[in-house]
Chains A and B, each alone.
Chain A
Amino acid sequence: MDARILLVEDDPSIREITAIGLRNAGFTVETADDGRAGLDRFAAADFDLVLLDVMLPRMDGLEVARAIRAGSTVPIVMLTARADTIDVVVGLEAGADDYVRKPFEVPELVARVRAALRRVGRREDDASATLRLGPLTIDLAGRTVRRDGAATDIALTRTEFELLVDLARHPGQVLERDTLLDRIWGYDYLGDSRLVDVAVGRLRSKIETDPAAPELILTVRGAGYKAAR
């Protein structure tokens, strides 16, 4: 696997050892030591994935994530110092697909990076098919979603698209958070179900008429989510 990874991290030791670990795992790694440099580097070349520290000088990781997200669906994995609500949720809402908590062991980080890349590489078997969910038409081959009567596609990240597809494939069926974590993020049981909650929230804000009263993706309290029939 020769995926190209952009690593933005300000601490030299962490940056160097993380780069070594990723290169050992077969990735091509470029590094940047602050937010602005990271954004410049991202604009200058193609990357398959961005690893982004939250606390960065000059421009913090959340801003960088938003800036990248404005023009790209590249997977973003945040390196966050805290696993409690604020950092994780804010990071995910800024457009990150996943997060890795500091401190991390390199093999763990590599596994997360691979999972994120696998998702991108995943292709539908029946790539010609389309799915319907309410007024939405989901084009699996083109990876686009369009609302009936709308002139343009709804812009979804890869994670959001995968989530929508998984739910739309099983209308009316409750999918537990852990199931979704496993299928979309490639997590085992130790995953953080807030990933699912935040991603569903973001997805709703893009596809629902009123995200506060969702009609397409419904919450089943204590269980998970389901797509409307």
Chain B
Amino acid sequence: MHWPRGVRARLAGALVLLVAITAAILGIGTTVFVDARLHQQTLADAADQATFDLTVIVPGRQLPAHPTQDDITRSGLVDTFRQRGVETVIDLGDGSTVQSNDQLAGLLDQLPPDMTARVGRGELAYSWLTVAGRPRLVVGGLAPGGGPAFYFVRDVSAIQEAIDQLRLAVLGGSAVLVLVALLTARILARGILAPVEEAGAAAERIERGDLLARVPVTSRDEFGIWADRFNRMADTLSETIRRLERAQHQNRRFVADVSHELRTPLTALVAEASIVGEHLDALPPDSKRAGELLVKDIGRLRNLVEELMELSRFDADAERVALEPVDLGKLVETVRAGRSPKARFAAPDPPIVVDADPRRLERIVANFLDNAREHAADKDVEIAVARRDADIVIAVSDRGPGVPADRLEMIFDRFTKVDPSRSGGSSGLGLAIAAEHAALMNGYLQAMNREGGGLRLELVLPADVAGSLRAGDAMAT
């Protein structure tokens, strides 16, 4: 069974979106927060260290008020700081500098002017910048009592590395979360859809006529309640159908039994009437007319019983179709010659030959002709056989009174007599029987009023009866 993917896709989409948005917010938030904290922490450390260095270490070396490069070198300050991982640039105030690392030679020019200004005023100032391709934190200040300006330079690429690792972790975590969401969606969808699919399968079985199909009730949730209701509906439905079937079966059985029981006395009657009919002239005048009516009415009774039996065989599904190649022109001509020699017919040229059940075709055409004879006895009747698209159409047209438009559909129903005064010898079953024969060959009958008056009856058959029956079987099984 094919189920549309809609619910699964929507559920998965919603969950993934939810997880992705949550992961993004948490990831970005965490990164930003951690980034800020790390910078803050590093800055605080650096400031503390700088303050300590400027207020304790530098005065301890007792530099002169205006030290030269040699004084600085001799003091060993740069090496001391360096051992702690801090590079140093010292502005001697006369335009010259001492630096722990040659890469830092142009550092002072890169610093924002207000920083050097603040350092010049004796404040502690800092700046984040990139020197020689690496992110650095520069903290500058003066020793108490003045002297040269010290700029302490720390390599802070560790912060960036930590942030990068954090990003990677967040991304990886998010990917895992999305996978988990997809999996969850799948499991959820299965849980939700399984009862729906079971219900669908049960409904399909019922549709195919298995009235015992039910939905398993496995839970007490909304689905359980729904399944319970579905099953109760199916119970009621199958009970009603069974009751109707039983009634219909009894009804049909009764018709079949009645017509069967009528058959034996009818056989005697028909045989007897046929002998009376041969000797009508020998009867006294008083009895002769009664004899004539007797023979005629027994004929009517015979038609009725035979047609009822024919219909009850359809109702019992006891009919089988025997297909063989049939030359329709030839078949129609044979029936015409035997049934309605006055009807006009020109066999199609080239001949139309199809696989069909000739016995049933004969019966349909004969019943069409009987209908025309009955309603348009002495008028012009025309038969036509032709192809129409993928169908074959056999039509009998008369010039009788036609049928009121609102009753056209009903003329193929059993015992329909459009004009009861004209019922003649007809049982009112002929066209119903023809319709049953047509349906067995996957064809159908239709009736229409003709322009200029009269009725046109059509048998429409698929040109490929065998193929159409096979397709029907394939669908049924």
A residues whose Cβ falls under 8 Å from a Cβ of B: 11, 13-14, 17-18, 20-21, 24, 81-82, 84-85, 102-109, 189-190, 221-222
Contacts and interface: CB of A to CB of B under 8 A. Distances in A.
Nearest to B320: A85
B271 A106 contact: yes
Nearest to B305: A103
**B: interface residue count bin:** 20 to 34
B83 interface: no
Contacts of B263: 81, 102-103
A14 B271 contact: yes
A222 B270 contact: no
Interface string B255-291: 0000010011111111111110010000000000000
B313 interface: yes
25 contacts: A11-B264, A11-B267, A13-B265, A13-B272, A14-B264, A14-B268, A14-B271, A17-B268, A20-B275, A21-B271, A84-B318, A85-B320, A102-B263, A102-B267, A103-B267, A105-B270, A105-B273, A106-B274, A106-B275, A107-B278, A189-B334, A189-B337, A221-B324, A222-B324, A222-B353
- Identify the interface centre among A24, A82, A84, A190: most chain B CB within 10 Å of its CB: A84
Interface in B238-269: 260, 263-269
A104 B271 contact: yes
A17 B268 CA distance: 7
A163 B14 CA distance: 81
Nearest to B268: A13
Contacts of B309: 82
B324 A84 contact: no
Given A14-B264, A222-B353, A21 B275 contact: yes
- Identify the interface centre among B265, B270, B319: most chain A CB within 10 Å of its CB: B270
A14 B273 CA distance: 12
A14 B265 CA distance: 8
A84 B275 CA distance: 27
A104 B267 contact: yes
Given A105-B270, A106-B275, 7 more contacts: A13-B268, A14-B264, A14-B268, A82-B309, A103-B263, A107-B274, A107-B278
Contacts of B270: 103-105
A220 to B, nearest CB: 10
